Amino acid sequence: MFDFEANPTLFRKLRWSSDWNGDEVGFPDVSVVGYYTYYDLNFYIDMETLSILEAWFDEDEE
């Protein structure tokens, strides 16, 4: 999928939405979790390691 360490320019293609304390979004062992989007794909990213913690697609509400 996305390997930010191997290709840091991929990280710049993401759109930042917010930062959270890890325990606020279900990752108590992570200090800062960034919430990013890429079109309709959403990511929680460990901001210290740049590893993807969780990814999901937006679901259209009807």
DSSP assignment of the chain, as one string? ---TTT-THHHHTSEEEEEEEGGGGT-TT-SEEEEEEETTEEEEEETTTTEEEEEEE-----
pLDDT at 61: 54
Q: Quick one: average pLDDT of 32-44? A: 94
- In this model, does residue 26 exceed pLDDT 90? yes
* Structure-token pair, residue 18: 């917010």
pLDDT at 1: 59
Structure tokens at 2: 């996305």
25 pLDDT more than 90: yes
Determine if the pTM surpasses 0.95. no
pLDDT at 62 over 90: no
